[in-house]
């Protein structure tokens, strides 16, 4: 009978470091990479692995991390004194009470780790029936990581930290990636046996290997296929390096899947973004969040898109900003348009330069070509919004809605003082201030009479 695989019961993410080299007042794991905090990468990876518990070990001043993750199903342990990585794990042990199976230990400052690599590490542990499995990496010129020491049979016998390594040991190319998958019961027992016998006088989690060797337990390892995914972030230089690595990887994927990115080194696309074939993206574009872009779109230079849905054959012209909005097929946006959250743009619609929308629904075929603000508005089909039109939606206390029905013509420099409704087919004369509802097919003019003396 085949032995059942040991389930992954918990994931511990270590994020209690002081971020000294970042020279920052906030936690380093809250610094952004491609539009989202660094810590969201490790938490997102943990969520995909679906353990029973995700535990974050934070420092005593970790309230900012708690706040950032307030919508996530995670638990927190606090390391009050920075006594090393093994001590950080010890702080999480009470939250493992009642759990059996395996626990995975990650670092919050490793945003490049991939799901396939971690799945293979877990699979290695199960396949070899080992009590402890390590993720390792090989670098031509290793960074300041702990070196993997092996015996003549190739078995792991120790990890020596870079600060404690001899000159000869520093020549070893295989390094510890800081990711461990191990039995919960072994972890609980081993943590209590680790002592601060090193130059830093800290409790090293790497010493768990010494415990396993002393107890003659099987240790397995999985070599990361790309060593770059194991790098950590301890400085702003490393932050930028990680961003560049991730950006290049994402852009290469889209180039190989039918999307033209004219200058990949000058385009930033988040991991969760989806883009349709034959879309063309010009330089200096940033696409973040859960954005979805359809086929045959044109995204011109300087555009920023966040958490938005873009239909097929949409053109977004230079320096436009799209936030939490939806644009349907065939529409043209910009240049220098700003779609704020809650905006929905219909098919074949034109939203031109210096037009700002906020919580506005714009119907099919409608045109607002320039210099307009439409906030808290519902605009029908085939409406013409003249230059300089404003919906006056805020009275100083409350926001009100403007409704413009189909086929309305709004003349230039019009103020629509909400709440107000303009009926189907109505005309608004230029320069008008409209404070009352306008009936369908009526002409409304609300301006002072011209006087010539």
DSSP string, 1-14: -PPPPPPEEEEEEE
- For the cut 60, the answer to whether the pLDDT of residue 339 exceeds it is yes
pLDDT band at 403, cuts 50/70/90?
Answer: very high
- For the cut 70, the answer to whether the pLDDT of residue 99 exceeds it is yes
- For the cut 80, the answer to whether the pLDDT of residue 372 exceeds it is yes
Q: What is the pLDDT of residues 239-285, one digit of tens each?
A: 999 999 999 999 999 999 999 999 999 999 999 999 999 999 999 99
pLDDT at 18: 73
Q: How far apart are CA 340 and CA 359, in angstroms?
A: 7
Please state the rounded mean pLDDT for residues 130-152: 94
Token pair in block for residue 345: 């743009």
- For the cut 60, the answer to whether the pLDDT of residue 3 exceeds it is no
pLDDT band at 367, cuts 50/70/90?
Answer: very high
Q: Which of 133, 115, 116 is nearest to 124 (CA)?
A: 133
> Whole-model pTM?
0.90
The whole-angstrom distance between residue 343's C-alpha and the CA centroid of its chain comes to 22
Please state the rounded mean pLDDT for residues 416-435: 98
- Report the catalytic residues: 370
Token pair in block for residue 233: 């972030």
Please state the rounded mean pLDDT for residues 207-217: 94
CB 362 within 8 A of CB 380: no
pLDDT band at 450, cuts 50/70/90?
Answer: confident
| C-alpha distance across the termini of the chain, in Å | 105
Token pair in block for residue 114: 């991939």
- For the cut 50, the answer to whether the pLDDT of residue 405 exceeds it is yes
- For the cut 70, the answer to whether the pLDDT of residue 10 exceeds it is yes
CATH class of 8-230: alpha beta
Round the average pLDDT of the chain to a whole number and report it: 95
CATH superfamily of this structure's domain 236-444:
Hexapeptide repeat proteins (2.160.10.10)
As a whole-number percent, the residues of the chain with pLDDT over 90 amount to 89
Angle between helices 39-49 and 115-128 (to 10 degrees): 50
Q: Which of 310, 308, 286 is nearest to 296 (CA)?
A: 310
Residues in the chain: 453
Please state the rounded mean pLDDT for residues 164-183: 95
pLDDT at 6: 67
Q: How far apart are CA 340 and CA 319, in angstroms?
A: 14
- For the cut 50, the answer to whether the pLDDT of residue 369 exceeds it is yes
Q: How far apart are CA 7 and CA 119, in angstroms?
A: 12
Q: How far apart are CA 300 and CA 310, in angstroms?
A: 14
- For the cut 60, the answer to whether the pLDDT of residue 1 exceeds it is no
CB 325 within 8 A of CB 346: no
From residue 93, give the alpha-carbon distance in Å to each of 75, 161, 337, 401: 12, 24, 52, 54
pLDDT band at 2, cuts 50/70/90?
Answer: very low
pLDDT at 200: 75
Query: Domain ranges in the chain?
Result: 8-230, 236-444
- The set of residues, in sequence order, having a beta carbon less than 8 Å from that of 174 and lying 6+ positions away, is 136, 137, 138, 147, 148, 150, 223
- For the cut 60, the answer to whether the pLDDT of residue 341 exceeds it is yes
């Amino acid at each position: 009978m085949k032995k059942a695989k040991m389930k992954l019961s918990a994931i511990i993410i270590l994020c209690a470091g002081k971020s000294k080299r970042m020279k920052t007042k906030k936690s380093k794991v809250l610094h952004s990479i491609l539009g989202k905090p660094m810590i969201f990468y490790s938490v997102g990876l943990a969520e995909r692995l679906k353990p029973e518990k995700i535990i974050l070990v934070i420092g005593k001043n970790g309230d900012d991390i708690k706040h950032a993750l307030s919508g996530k199903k995670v638990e927190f342990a606090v390391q009050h004194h920075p006594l090393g990585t093994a001590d950080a794990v010890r702080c999480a042990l009470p939250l493992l009470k009642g759990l059996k199976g395996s626990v995975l230990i990650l670092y919050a400052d490793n945003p490049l780790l991939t799901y396939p690599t971690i799945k293979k590490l877990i699979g290695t542990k199960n396949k070899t029936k080992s009590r402890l499995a390590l993720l390792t990496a090989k670098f031509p010129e290793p960074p300041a990581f702990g070196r993997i020491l092996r015996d003549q049979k190739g078995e792991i016998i120790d990890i020596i930290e870079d600060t404690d390594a001899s000159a000869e040991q520093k020549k070893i190319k295989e390094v510890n990636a800081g990711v461990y998958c191990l039995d919960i019961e072994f972890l609980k027992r081993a943590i209590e046996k680790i002592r601060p016998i090193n130059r830093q006088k800290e409790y090293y989690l790497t010493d768990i290997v010494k415990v396993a060797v002393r107890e003659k337990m099987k240790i397995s390892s999985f070599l990361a296929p790309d060593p770059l995914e194991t790098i950590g972030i301890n400085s702003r230089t490393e932050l930028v390096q990680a961003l560049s690595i991730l950006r290049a990887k994402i852009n290469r994927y889209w180039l190989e899947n039918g999307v033209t990115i004219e200058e990949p080194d000058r385009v930033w696309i988040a991991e969760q973004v989806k883009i349709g074939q034959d879309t063309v993206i010009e330089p200096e574009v940033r696409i973040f969040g859960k954005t979805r872009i359809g086929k045959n779109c044109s995204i011109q230079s300087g555009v920023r898109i966040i958490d938005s849905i873009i239909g097929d054959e949409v053109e977004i012209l230079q320096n436009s900003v799209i936030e939490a909005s939806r644009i349907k097929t065939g529409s043209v946006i910009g240049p220098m348009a700003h779609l704020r959250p809650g905006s929905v743009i219909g098919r074949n619609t034109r939203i031109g330069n210096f037009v700002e929308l906020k919580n506005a629904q714009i119907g099919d075929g409608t045109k607002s070509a320039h210099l307009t603000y439409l906030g808290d508005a519902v605009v029908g089909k085939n409406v013409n919004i003249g230059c300089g039109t404003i919906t006056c939606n805020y009275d100083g206390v409350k926001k009100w809605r403007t409704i413009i029905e189909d086929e309305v013509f709004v003349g230039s420099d019009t103020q629509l003082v909400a709440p107000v409704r303009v009926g189907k087919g109505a005309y608004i004369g230029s320069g008008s201030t409209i404070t009352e509802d306008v009936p369908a097919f009526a002409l409304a003019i609300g301006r002072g009479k011209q006087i010539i003396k």
